[in-house]
Amino acid sequence: MRKSRRDQAGRLAVWVLVGPYVVFLVAFGLAPAAFGLWTSLGSWGEVFGDYRLGAAVRNVALYLVLWLPVLVLLVLSLALTLHARPGRFAGVMRFVYYLPGAVTGSAAALLWLFMMSPDVSPFGPLLGALGIGSASQALQGDGLIGVLVVMGVAIHAGGWIVVLYGALTALPRDVLEAAAVDGATPWRITRHVKLPLVRRYVAFVLISSFASGTQVFVEPTVLETSARGQISPTWSVNQLAYFYATQEGDFGRAAALSLAMLAVGLVAALLVIYKTRFYRTDAV
């Protein structure tokens, strides 16, 4: 009798501790998704019939096709190069790559607009060689995707380099040494030993970046407001959903489209958890 009352008090205590978080989890995680689903009923057909959706999907797809390979290759090659010759220089460089991650959102858009303006940019000669005479020219046509790719790489590469480098330093030393003793060249060790061992991390980088890339919103929005008329306000899928909600006042379509995007993110999240087993806790 005493014991069970104690158990009951214990259960109550646990919910005092975890309850407030669960309330927030429901209110700002599950509820908006459920409410969105309710709001979206009847609007799905309209959304998928909208000609602007096709254009937005093409834009985002092209952005991903260019950005993802550049990001992953750069991150991998820099992390492997840093790891091949660790030391003071490598330590400093690792930090240098990481810093631009602090400049995000509208600050990043502002900074890179200046970087694309030949009259003030330290990359002036490079821009000249590419035939870019002004920031507005850099944003014209497919130039926008180029600017977004460069921005996206500068912002995200550093954090991933740190993660991948951390994974490399955690590799078992004896395996790498055994390969070296067997006469494997540094290149062969990288290609056949290190790379397969950090595959899980590369998959994690790829899936997470894919998920966040599909949701691209901030950068094209900020670039659009500063170069009005040049860039479509419905350039990306999320921008189109935002446009539905705020410019056309159509919450049904906005909800349908953002739920479709949510589903893409959810699939990616589940892939990370169950396929790459990146978060190995006893919960999954």
Partner 1 sequence: MTRRAFLALAGVFFVLPLVWMVLAPTRTADSLIGGPPLAFGSIANVASAWGNLMAYNDGELAGWIGNSVGYAAASVALTLLLSIPAGYALAKHDFAGRRAVLTLTLIGMILPQTALVLPLYLEMTAAGLTGTPWSVILPLAFYPFGVYLAYLHFASALPGAILDAGRVDGAGELRLFLTIGLPLARPAIGLIAFFGFVNVWTNFFLPFVMLDDDRTFTLQLGLMSLLQSTGAVNASSGFSSLNIHQPEAALAGLVACAPTLAAFLVAQRALRTGMLAGAEKG
Answer yes or no whether residue 73 interacts with partner 1 by CB under 8 A.
no
> Does residue 198 belong to the site contacting partner 1 (CB under 8 A)?
no
Stretch that binds partner 1, among 43-51, 57-65, 128-136, 173-181 (CB under 8 A): 128-136
Closest contact distance (angstroms) between CB of 132 and partner 1 is 13
Contact call for residue 61 and partner 1 (CB under 8 A): no
**Does 98 contact partner 1 by CB under 8 A?**
yes
Choices 29-37, 54-62, 173-181, 190-198 (CB under 8 A): range interacting with partner 1: 29-37
Selected from 72, 84, 171, 179, the binder of partner 1 by CB under 8 A is 84
154: Cβ contacts below 8 Å, ≥ 6 apart: 100, 108, 112
Indicate the residue among 179 and 260 with the shorter CB distance to partner 1: 260
Residue 44 sits in the site that holds partner 1 (CB under 8 A)? no
Q: Does 232 bind partner 1 (CB under 8 A)?
A: no
Residue 152 CB, nearest distance to partner 1 (Å)?
12
Among residues 94, 235, 219, the alpha carbon closest in space to that of 164 is found at 94
Residues between 142 and 161 that touch partner 1 (CB under 8 A): 154, 156-160
Applying the rule CB under 8 A, the residues between 236 and 255 that interact with partner 1 are 238, 241-242, 245-246, 251, 254-255
Residue 67 touches partner 1, criterion: CB under 8 A: no
| 3-state helix/strand/coil string of the chain | CHHHHHHHHHHHHHHHHHHHHHHHHHHHHHHHHHHHHHHHCCCHHHHHCCHHHHHHHHHHHHHHHHHHHHHHHHHHHHHHHHHHCCCHHHHHHHHHHHHHHHCCHHHHHHHHHHHCCCCCCCCHHHHHHCCCCCHHHHCCCCHHHHHHHHHHHHHHHHHHHHHHHHHHHCCCHHHHHHHHHCCCCHHHHHHHHHHHHCHHHHHHHHHHHHHHHHCCCHHHHHHHHHCCCCCCCCCCHHHHHHHHHHCCCCHHHHHHHHHHHHHHHHHHHHHHHHCCCCCCCCCC
How many Cα atoms within 13 Å fall on the side-chain side of residue 103? 15
Under rule CB under 8 A, residue 235 binds partner 1: no
Interatomic CA distance for residues 167 and 175, integer angstroms: 15
Instruction: Give the per-residue contact string, 162-181, with partner 1 (x = CB under 8 A; - = no).
Output: xx--xx--x-----------
Of 126 and 178, the one with the shorter C-beta distance to partner 1 is 126
**Per-residue binding letters, 1-20, with partner 1 (x by CB under 8 A):** --------xxx-xxxxxx-x
Q: Which of 55, 64, 90, 171 binds partner 1 (CB under 8 A)?
A: 90
Query: How many other CB atoms are there within 10 angstroms of residue 125's CB atom?
Result: 10
Asked whether position 47 contacts partner 1 by CB under 8 A, the answer is no
Residue in this structure with the two tokens 């790489």, named with its chain if needed: 153
Can residue 60 be called a binding residue for partner 1 (CB under 8 A)? no
From 248, 269, 275, 277, residue interacting with partner 1 (rule: CB under 8 A): 269
CB of 268 to partner 1, least distance (A): 7
Is residue 140 a contact point for partner 1 (CB under 8 A)? no
